[in-house]
Amino acid sequence: MRDRSFATVTNPLFDLASWLLDASEPDAAGHLDDCFAAWSGTVPQERMRRAWRLAKPLAAVMELIEPADIVGPDHDFNWLPMTYGWGRRLLHAATGPGLISHGWR
């Protein structure tokens, strides 16, 4: 059995996509504040916020392709709901990046 779905080296903003998946807007804002504060010694927080708004669509794409390792004849995984959900998030992030400034909802 192979599971490489989390064995990647990427931009840390991409990890926010799955972290904020079910977070309410106030919770997502708090999580982002904490994340950006941790990086503030390296990158100004406002720059991180702008980067997150730009990274959201690509983060959703990364989540969309992740199930590629776990579908097929050897795996019993219902990928359709996950794919639909991330596709919907991708559309929202790409068409209105300013509408939801923190999480996915």
For residue 2, the model assigns a pLDDT of: 46
pLDDT along the chain (105 residues), means of 10: 55 80 84 92 92 83 70 63 78 66 57
Cβ-based neighbours of 48, under 8 Å, separated by 6 or more: 13, 35, 36, 39, 40
Q: How many CB atoms lie under 10 A from the CB of residue 42?
A: 8
